[in-house]
Structure 1
Amino acid sequence: MKKHKNIKTYSLLFFLAFTTTVFAQVRKTINFDANWQFIKGEIAGAEKLDFNDKSWRTLDVPHDWSIEGPYDRENPTARGGGYLPAGIGWYRKTFQLDEADSKKLFSIEFDGVMANSEVWINGKHLGKRPYGYISFVYDLTPYLNFGKGKNNVIAVRADNTIQPASRYYTGAGIYRHVRLVAVNKTHFKHWGTQITTPNPTAKKAVINIKTEIENGVAGTYKLQIDIIDNSGKVVKSIESQENIVAGKNNELSKEIEIINPKLWNIEAPNLYTVTTKLYSGKTLIDNETTTIGIRNAEFRAETGFWLNNKNYKIKGVCLHHDGGAVGAAVPLGVWKERLKKLKEVGVNGIRTSHNPVAPEFLDLCDQMGFVVMDETFDTWTAAKHNGEKGYNLNFKDWWEQDTKDMILRDRNHPSIVIYSIGNEIHDNLSYPEGYKTYKMQEDVVKKYDNTRPVTMALFRPANSKVYLSGFAAQMDVVGQNYRENELIAAHEANPTWKVIGTENTHVLNQWLALRDKPYMAGQFLWTGYDYLGEADWPETTNNQGLFDRAGNWKQQSLQRDSWWSEEPVVHIVRKSDNAGAGFWVADWTPNDFDTYDNAKINVYSNCDEVELFLNDKSLGSLKKPADDSPREWNVTFEEGTIKAIGKNNGKIVAQEEHTSAGKPAKIILTKSNATVANNWDDVTFITATIVDEKGIRCANADNLIKFSITDSGKIVAVDNGNIIDHEGYQGPATRAYQGSAIAIIKAAKDNGTITIKADVEGLTPGSIPVEIVAEKK
């Protein structure tokens, strides 16, 4: 996806400028994110072309106005929506088009609008989409004005006033990217290209390409297809003459053989680019680019998941679509940082819980080597607690269109290895009547993509009897949330079933269910990151993630690292309060040194042997338990340094230590990325940590940290990961939590240096530079 630069400087002059040159070219996709007018509340006549919106707020999308707050226990979103606001939001965008482009076809593509969106062009109603997670497109062509001085206005109304609409945070508004697309009358159909690579090997692959050409002007055309590897080399090119019939969809199918392909896998996610070009004579009239991976993924009843004939355990996590402090409008850089940390823990799979995600998220999974369970819905017709007025109100009218659109949009992503069509569905699943609802959805999935299996996350199947009634026996892969012993028993009673844990907790016995059962294809932990909503006041965030909102490691991520990491790992945690009370923390600085004398310690490690030291005195060595349980010590607390050393075959391979902190003295800043480019999706995380004179983190510090920044950058959000902090994320200041806080930074100029500072009253401030770099094309 192309990114815009300096979107705040774009104006009506920009649209006049690009429309005189851009649309003389072939298909052009224009980033349409900049310079929208926005207002909260119901506004009569806001869809009309001549409506005066000058008093509205000017902003760029993606935009989530709900995350701006404030938090309020009385907000109607309540527990599910994290007590953040709901309501109606209006967006308007004015643009002009050159008269020379009046013969082209124009459409507008939305990657997602939350929720119940309605769209108008020049006062003409284009349609409504209730489901806020789905991508959709509208044809603008019949209603556009062309020529100098003639305005066009896109108006969007987003309405999530009907609450509670979800069990988890949704956001509000145009929270994903928007594009304006111009094509010639003969063009490739939107989402009309499907590319598959059946049964490839390292020696040979056949790439099947099916593409649809629509609204054609009758004639003979040349189709050219190029296969380009990740170094930019064209590895295969074909041409053919095609007779296009006017006024209908023309489907073309091609097979291209690639010798010695670079296969896509978890360790080496090699990607290819397929360019399809359509010529009328020597004139290029349309072109399209699709990124693919050549791979073979399958599930086997006896041995679980296989990728390119290699057996893998899917070590997955569930992720909601919010990005913490940025809400639902998540820059891709936030996801990059999150997925990078998940990779560090050993995660190789993502479940999109429980809805379609932004398309660029799937691009990132392709690039980073995650396998994906792509999911449609959290509810069918039956309501769920704390989300009684959600998609269940729209399922009957919209499930088919929404399912179709997700599959058409997502089916070329190599990362996707399985589809899920429901999570913990409360509808009657009795067989055969209840199964019909499942089957009708599965049929739609396979109509548009028959290359992947379909599952759903079954809810308490022993209670619903789906294992005994015949329902589960019909599923491609049987997915179940929790209760791993039930799934194990079901498979062992039905050894031809393919099975996967669609949702699992962090506890040891659930890991062992995956580790020790070869037929268990994988599991998806609930969750990878803490997420907004599904929390009881004063909590606003569900804290079951491996990482908190701000990206801090937690007890469960440290332990999971010892189970899933390929590298030697050793981590020390202690109970926060005396004699085993409290919660697990990774430090050696008690709240009260005087009353803390009995420290319960766990060491998480995959090393053969771990030896623990307190102030250089050995507290003994422990061998690795066969069941991967932690190694435990009860230690009489002494101020100083606790250290664990991990050994394999007698050789030190990993170690970790914590030292007791003194009084807070200064702030140190670190950055996740040393450089940023000036586009909406690029960010760097600045972490401010309060430390003592020796640089030791003061784990109990909760001082107010004030961030400031030079005008070459901007603070997008601040956060500390505290699930009961109600101060919000939009300002430049937040309190430290467990000694630290973050600021998410973007560039505001095309070049130069951004300087970020952090101040705490009475402490030495911190400062750090971030370089602005040119955007990659």
Structure 2
Amino acid sequence: MNYFKTKHLPFSLLLLFLALTTNAFSQARNTTNFDSDWQFSKGDVLGAEKPQFNAKQWTKLNVPHDWSIEGPYDRDNTSGRGGGYLPTGIGWYRKTFEINKEDAKKRTSIEFDGIMANSDVWINGTHLGKRPYGYISFSYDLTPYLNFDKPNVIAVRADNSTQPASRWYTGAGIYRHVRLVSVNPTHFTHWGTFITTPVATATRGVVNLKVEIENKGIAGDYNVQIDIIDKAGKIVKTVESQKNIAANATGLITQDIEIANPKLWNIDQPNLYTATTKLYSGKTLIDNQTISFGIKKSEFIAETGYWLNGKNIKLFGVCLHHDGGAVGAAVPLGVWKERFKKLKEVGVNAIRTSHNPVSPEFLDLCDQMGFVVMNETFDTWTAAKHNGEKGYNLYFKEWWEQDTKDMILRDRNHPSIVIYSIGNEIHDDLSYPEGYKTYKMQEDVVKKYDNTRPVTMALFRPANSKVYLSGFADHMDVVGQNYRENELIAAHEAHPNWKVIGTENTHVISQWLALRDKPYMAGQFLWTGYDYLGEADWPETTNNQGLFDRAGNWKQQGLQRDSWWSTEAVVHIVRKSDNAGAGSWVADWTPTDFDTYDNAKVQVYSNCDEVELFLNEKSLGSMKKPENDSPREWNVTFAEGTIKAIGKNNGKVVAQEAFTSAGEPAKIIITKSNPTLSNNWDDVSFITATVVDEKGIPCVNADNLIKFTISDSGKIIGVDNGNVMSHESYQSPERHAYNGKAIAIIKASQNGGKIEIKATAEGLESGAITVDIVAEKN
């Protein structure tokens, strides 16, 4: 029997695992979650890579783990403005495990989805390798160094002490998932299966599979069975192939599989298939793998922009950094699910991974929810950038090819990915032809492993670097530019054969109109979808250019973008926070000082044909939709009460919004984003505590200290309020309200029952809520 065991694996779980492992599949691949039961120590530790090292005093924890987010914030931390003034340094991880002697003939590897940063890995004291790039996934073969039926020790050293290393927050440690993979000597190559769909129409699809097999065993004939399975679990096609593979050689099997009337993958209906490939020696199953994919046709056309399955669409995109706010860089998938839901609500259909490979499950979620992706490799090549002078630029020459290859091989089967970017605002000399060589060598590596998608980069001030005039841009598959939309428009109109896209854009209306009114503009990626840690000047700790803040609260630019991109009828009211048009835009009707606030500048963001504004049921007039999508604006003499906007299409009310002035804070109400949780690291619920008055109206100016308590059946993994000036701990169970709100992100810590959460504040009636714990969700 083929199974993995740790010293801490409960006997009941071991019995369950054995019961679920069939005789057939015990002969094949075994992938084991390797996240649990690590020991951790912050700081450099001499000799910690040695198996006999005594780590009993180290902290016991599970990964993914980001120790940097624990803080504290300090202006003097060497991460500086780029890293958000959070601590950096060296962290060590160790894990002890055993493998059965009967698996000695198997090949066992360890797979890391990401370690931040400059990681070194040892097995039983033998150094396996170093990977500087904290965002890349990689694996090591453990086979030659393993002990069987006695302990093995994995040791990992992660070092981000050389600072400043990034222009944004990176996190620290083993911050993504880890797996142990055991295969037979003859097996499918790691990331060696490539699935494409050269024909994708509503009536006919052709799925091409290139399956690479590595033979570390004996020469012979090997059979491959491929099942194509639809989202309902039905096998829609099965094909078989045979290949004779010599010992210590690699064989490649190529198959074209025709699918009648396929369900195409698109933004509105992200239909997915799976390809299950099984490798046989005779009748013995010796390896198996399942890969998700989508059938689609994606193309960029110079005159008309982006097309998906024959439909011309605009890419309404956002840039996203990899942190999840209060949870730092170790982001449960449930956090991304909540964020993606809100981005969908705004009308976002595209994501740029800024400016590095993301976790595999992030891309899985894009596949499942219908986002198209610009998948990006690097923020720097060889030239340094301010506030990140000691970053990847120090390693680019040695590591760019391996890191680029690994990202493409890992990610190329994701249907969500429609374009690759190989650099963001690169400061290297891009003069042609010398500067173009660095671009071209990267493009060649991308296309060596995936020639089905175009390659771009996010050009930085191309009018200054002369890339539009030198010949550089002529050779790009798609010309991508950050900001300065008029330059990109002029460049296309001077070169109508260029395909163009806005790779990074602000929220102003002129940039929206550049996308709306120019058919050839394939899309834009706003900076950013969510506020992100770092790239901020003290006392701020967070870059605040998102459509949503760290805690998931709507911001003014998100409300306005909703009126431009949403397919639903939208009405949003905002006012200037201070008297006579001063201050910032806020979405409420409760000024901080009623006595000095009398002249309210009000705007309504709406995609409706007509909007009428009311104050205390008295009409303040109607306005038609402006041709340029600008907001409708009223100067209102403030009066306490209710302001309301009604949106109409063809005279029919289709949307409305109202705000009422709040009284004094009286109580806390609690809501939950997810009513049920399973005991899974990636499953979370956002608990929002809102301070309200006696009538339940939100008190947007309240800043009470809110204390969260939770029953033993759950745990709080982070608290936040979205305030970019706050230096409070994310791990504390309390947080000051900001704009009247605070959140706690919770998980289940047992397999059944209920989680009880309570929020209290001095002088306020407390709030409580429960979340049910359910069996593992599919």
- TM-score normalized by the length of structure 2: 0.98
Instruction: Give 1:200 deviation, angstroms.
Output: 1.0
Superposed, which structure 2 residues align to 1:218-237 within 5 Å?
A: 218-237=219-238
Matched, 1:345 2:336: no
2:182 is equivalent to residue 182 of structure 1: yes
Using the alignment, how far apart are the partners of 1:11 and 1:400 within structure 2? 43
- Report what 2:198 is aligned to: 198
Distance 1:241 1:718 in 2: 55
Q: Does 1:164 align with 2:164?
A: yes
Match of 1:463 in 2: 464
1:191-229 deviations in Å (ceiling 9; x for gaps): 000000013100001100001100242111221000000
Q: Which residue of 1 aligns with 2:116?
A: 114
User: Does 2:548 align with 1:551?
Assistant: no
What does residue range 263-302 of structure 1 map to in structure 2 within 5 Å? 263-302=264-303
- What is the aligned partner in structure 2 of residue 504 from structure 1? 505
2:137 touches 2:407 (CA, 8 Å); kept in 1? yes
Aligned residue number for residue 716 of structure 1: 717
Three-state SS of the structure 2 residue aligned to 1:489 is helix
> How far apart in 2 are the matches of 1:24 and 1:604?
60
SS of 1:737 mapped into structure 2: coil
Q: Which residue of 2 is the match for residue 56 of structure 1?
A: 58
Assess if the C-alpha contact under 8 Å between 1:89 and 1:173 holds in 2.
Answer: yes
- 1:354 corresponds to: 355
**1:560 maps to which residue?**
561
Structure 1 residues 20, 625: closer, same or farther in 2, change over 3 A? closer
Residues 1:726 and 2:727 aligned together: yes
Q: Equivalents in 1 of 2:549, 2:290: separation in Å?
A: 37
Aligned-residue CA RMSD (Å): 1.5
Following the alignment from structure 1 to structure 2, what is the Cα–Cα distance between the partners of residues 553 and 574? Answer: 14
Report what 2:654 is aligned to. Answer: 653
Offset of residue 144 of structure 1:
0.2
Q: Given the alignment of the two structures, is residue 89 of structure 1 paired with residue 91 of structure 2, yes or no?
A: yes
Match runs of 1:357-506 below 5 Å: 357-506=358-507
Cα distance in 1 for residues equivalent to 2:742 and 2:532 = 17
Distance, in Å, in 1 between the alignment partners of 2:76 and 2:773 is 42
> What SS does the aligned partner of 2:452 have?
coil
The 8 Å contact of residues 19 and 98 in structure 1, kept in 2 or not, is answered as no
Partner of 2:655: helix, strand, or coil? Answer: strand
Q: Report the CA distance between 1:242 and its aligned residue.
A: 2.1
Whole-Å Cα distance in 1 between the matches of residues 554 and 13 of structure 2?
45
Change (3 A) 1:117 1:322: same
Report SS of the residue matched to 1:443: helix
Describe the SS at the equivalent of 1:193: strand
Deviations 1:116-141 (A, max 9, x none): 00000000000000000000000000
The Cα offsets for residues 558-598 of structure 1, whole Å up to 9 and x where unpaired, read as 00000000010000000000000000000000000000000
> How far apart are the structure 2 equivalents of 1:739 and 1:42?
42
Counterpart-to-counterpart distance in 2, 1:432 and 1:441: 15
What does residue 258 of structure 1 align with?
Answer: 259
- CA change 1:492–1:476 in 2 (3 A) is same
**C-alpha distance in 2 between matches for 1:246 and 1:321:** 42
Q: How does 1:730-749 map to 2 (within 5 A)?
A: 730-749=731-750
C-alpha separation in 1, matches of 2:109 and 2:165: 30
- Which residue of structure 1 lines up, in the alignment, with residue 145 of structure 2? 143
Q: Is the 8 A contact 1:612 1:644 kept in 2?
A: yes
Aligned to 2:308: 307
For residues 299-347 of structure 1, the C-alpha deviation after alignment (integer angstroms, 9 at most, x for no partner) is 0000000000100000000000000000000000000000000000000
> Shift of residue 170 of structure 1?
0.3
The DSSP-based 3-state class of the residue aligned with 2:99 is coil
Q: Deviations over 1:257-315 (max 9, x none)?
A: 00000000000000000000011121111001100000000000000000001000000
In the alignment, is the contact (CA less than 8 A) between 1:196 and 1:209 conserved in 2? yes
Gaps of 5+ in 1: none
Contact kept, 8 Å, 1:10 with 1:34, in 2: the verdict is no
- Matched residues in 1 for 2:592 and 2:355: separation? 39
How far apart in 2 are the matches of 1:776 and 1:225?
A: 27
Q: Corresponding residue for 1:124?
A: 126
Match of 1:27 in 2: 29
Kindly indicate whether the alpha-carbon contact (under 8 Å) linking 1:63 and 1:174 is maintained by their aligned counterparts in 2: yes
**In the aligned structure 1, how far is the partner of 2:414 from the partner of 2:86?**
34
Structure-2 separation of matches of 1:338 and 1:639: 34
Structure 1 residues 644 and 114: alpha-carbon distance in aligned structure 2, compared to 1, 3 A threshold: same
Q: Is the 8 A contact 1:354 1:423 kept in 2?
A: yes
In 2: Cα distance, 1:304 partner to 1:140 partner? 47
Q: 1:139 to 1:16 in 2, by over 3 A?
A: farther
Q: d(CA) in 1 for partners of 2:420 and 2:242?
A: 36
The aligned counterpart of 2:642 is 641
- Say whether the 8 Å CA contact 1:24–1:101 is kept in structure 2: no
Distance 1:246 1:588 in 2: 75
**Preserved contact between residue 12 and residue 95 of structure 1 (Cα < 8 Å):** no
Instruction: Tell me, yes or no, if the aligned pair for 1:708 and 1:756 is still in contact at 8 Å.
Output: yes
CA distance in 2, matches of 1:11, 1:50: 25
Number of matched residues?
Answer: 770
The DSSP-based 3-state class of the residue aligned with 1:153 is strand
- AA partner of residue 361 (structure 2): E
Q: Which amino acid aligns with 1:200?
A: A
Rounded Cα–Cα distance in structure 2 between residues aligned with 1:110 and 1:414: 23
- Aligned to 2:771, the other structure's residue is in SS state strand
Residues 1:559 and 1:288: Cα distance change in structure 2 (over 3 Å): same
Structure 2: tracts of 5 or more residues without a match: none
Is this contact kept in 2: 1:16–1:98, CA < 8 A? no
Q: CA deviation at 1:239?
A: 1.6
Quick one: distance in 1 between partners of 2:450 and 2:274? 20
Q: Summarize the alignment of residues 34-53 of structure 1 with structure 2, pairs less than 5 Å apart.
A: 34-53=36-55
Letter of the structure 2 residue corresponding to residue 146 of structure 1: F
- Cα deviation, 1:716-743, whole Å, max 9, x if unaligned, reads 1000000010012001000000000100
Taking the aligned partners of 2:286 and 2:8, their CA distance within structure 1 comes to 32
Structure 1: distance between partners of 2:58 and 2:621: 68
1:528, 1:17 → 2: CA distance? Answer: 42
- Structure 1 distance, partners of 2:293, 2:19, is 34
Q: 1 CA distance for matches of 2:714 and 2:126?
A: 39
Does the residue aligned with 1:189 lie in a helix, a strand or coil?
strand
Distance (whole Å) between structure 2 residues aligned to residue 199 and residue 420 of structure 1: 25
SS at match of 1:197: strand
Cα drift, residue 243 of structure 1: 1.5
Structure 1 residue 411 displacement after superposition = 0.2
Distance 2:450 2:122 in 1: 32
CA distance in 1, matches of 2:262, 2:309: 12
Alpha-carbon distance in 1 for matches of 2:145, 2:465: 52
CA distance in 2, matches of 1:20, 1:646: 60
Structure 1 vs Structure 2: percent identity of aligned residues?
A: 78
Shift of 1:240: 2.4
AA partner of residue 110 (structure 2): I
Q: Distance in 2 between matches of 1:158 and 1:171?
A: 11
Q: Partner residue of 1:627? A: 628
CA shift for structure 1 position 12: 10
Residue by residue, what CA displacement relative to the aligned partner does 1:403-429 show, whole Å, maximum 9, x if unpaired? 000000000000000000000000000
Q: Aligned partners of 2:707 and 2:230: how far apart in 1?
A: 47
In structure 2, distance between residues paired with 1:673 and 1:658: 26
In 2, the alpha carbon distance for the partners of 1:627 and 1:302 equals 23
Q: Tell me, what secondary structure is at the counterpart of 2:64?
A: coil
